[in-house]
Structure 1
Amino acid sequence: MCAAEGVDIVYAPDAVDVYGTDDISALPASEILDAGPIGLILEGAARPGHFGGMLTVVSKLQELTGARFATFGEKDYQQLVLVTRMFADREVPVEVVPVPTVRETDGLALSSRNRYLSEKERACAALIPQAVEAAVAAAQDGPGAAIAAGLEVLSKESAIKVDYFVVAAPDLGPAPTHGPARVVVAVRIGATRLLDNAPCDLGAPA
């Protein structure tokens, strides 16, 4: 498969190669990177400790390979932001290349989690990209209007439980009063948790 895509070399280390042990849980806390305040919000609040572990893995792989480019999907936007910031803060010369979200024909972001949706749940999930689009369109009236527009779309289906629907700065800090921003959403449909996001341009609220 990799050869068909023009890949020359695949680096596939085992846990001992990366961590020096096959028991990753035994790593001392001092070896786990701190994801900082951004790592504690949104997905970080839902999955405590996840981003510290993720950054540790990415950092160790970069050290082992000497990679100068790294591609990360925009669908997991918080991960993309944290990895980009980590390399910048550590002054590691790695160019992080964002990869646009790939979507199904109805706009739902591709995810391995989609296969867990029942037929009815899958139909409900089509409202997620519609809500994001509505928020982006309303962003010219400010972050409050964007959030309200998105939530209105999601409220059409009671099976959708919103974990968060926010407008933030591109670096996931507080939303600016105007200019570039990001719509970020997480919902649950049944037992499945789905994410989406998109850039938007905020106008000053009326």
Structure 2
Amino acid sequence: MSVAPPPIIRSVAELRALTATWHRAGERIGLVPTMGALHAGHLSLVAAAKAAADRVVVTIFVNPRQFNDPEDYARYPRTEASDAEKLAPFGVDAVYVPAPDQVYPDGFATTVSVAGVTEGLCGASRPGHFDGVATVVAKLFLQSGADIAFFGEKDYQQLQLVKRLARDLDIPIEVAGHPTVREADGLALSSRNAQLSTSARQMAPALYAALVGAAGRIRAGDAVPGVLDDTARRITAAGYQRVEYLELRSAQGLHPMIRLDQPARLLVAAWLDGVRLIDNIAVGP
């Protein structure tokens, strides 16, 4: 027997009225912010939210402020109906799909900017992107009044931004990271994977394989700069057009590292078939 999709809410007022009712009942509210085009990675966040909270709200909002390219924003898939169907088996309590004017009303003039963790990596090649992320996440946290929010570790720099944002602004919400979900061949799940050609999709897992190899060498004591240079060449030899960045950074604070003397993260962005793919893995001392 099919399960009915969860109710869709489109206004701030309706969302706040609903979450206020839940809070009055003493219920804990979980939030899963997304831009839609849901895949198994998103759904793993929903499952984690269901396990940690009494009520769960999934948000779907394609945020124009975090796109550097208007064409990329226009191309981004909008799949509201199929997303709601995917959420139905999880017993989600509401899907918040605000119109742009519910997030950025006329005269909106505020930008939230987080320094430090946004510098370099994706922040270097996507100017303004993380300001857009920080602004919309702050809005969603405050609009929902949620107690805990779930973000995937695939977007590790974004996860660190969100944790710092909540801490610095005293927003009373717990930010929980969730491990990256991968295909059987290791490719990190992403809505952008669908843009890869058949041949590029076959090449794509080389990115994760290269990270695993590099992490093993770094743990074994090989010099970090040499490992990174060798790994970048390995990625392009596997068919990627360009490695945008490949860096070892501290797990907390994302400070650049040239030796493994604290918990770290190996992070990469590379271009394949005109598609920008990112990934990261943990590297510990």
C-alpha separation in 1, matches of 2:176 and 2:227: 27
C-alpha separation in 1, matches of 2:147 and 2:227: 37
Q: How many residues align?
A: 196
Q: Which of 5, 12, 36 is matched with 2:115 structurally?
A: 36
The DSSP-based 3-state class of the residue aligned with 1:198 is: strand
CA drift of 1:183 comes to 0.3
Q: Which of 153, 162, 183 is matched with 2:243 structurally?
A: 162
- Superposition RMSD on alpha carbons, in Å? 1.9
| One-letter amino acid matched to 1:68 | D
CA drift of 1:93 comes to 2.1
Contact 1:124 1:160 in 2 (8 A): no
C-alpha separation in 2, matches of 1:179 and 1:148: 21
Aligned to 1:61: 140
Contact 1:73 1:80 in 2 (8 A): yes
Contact 1:139 1:145 in 2 (8 A): no
Aligned to 2:74: none
* Structure 2 CA distance for partners of 1:112 and 1:3, relative to 1, 3 Å: closer
Q: Does 1:144 align with 2:225?
A: yes
Identity percentage of aligned residues:
38
C-alpha separation in 1, matches of 2:239 and 2:187: 18
| Structure 1 unaligned blocks of 5 or more | none
Aligned to 2:263: 180
C-alpha separation in 2, matches of 1:155 and 1:11: 41
TM-score by length of structure 2 reads 0.64
| One-letter amino acid matched to 2:264 | A
C-alpha separation in 2, matches of 1:96 and 1:159: 34
The DSSP-based 3-state class of the residue aligned with 1:75 is: helix
The DSSP-based 3-state class of the residue aligned with 2:234 is: helix
Q: Which of 10, 14, 29 is matched with 2:99 structurally?
A: 14
Task: Give runs of aligned pairs for residues 1-206 of structure 1, distance below 5 A.
Answer: 1=85, 2-21=87-106, 27-28=108-109, 31-140=110-219, 141=221, 142-170=223-251, 171-175=253-257, 177=259, 178-202=261-285
Contact 1:169 1:176 in 2 (8 A): no
Q: Deviations over 1:96-120 (max 9, x none)?
A: 1112111111101111111221222
TM-score by length of structure 1 reads 0.87
| Structure 2 unaligned blocks of 5 or more | 1-84
* Structure 2 CA distance for partners of 1:81 and 1:176, relative to 1, 3 Å: farther
Contact 1:137 1:146 in 2 (8 A): no
Q: Deviations over 1:5-50 (max 9, x none)?
A: 11122333222222323xxxx632xx10112133231111111101
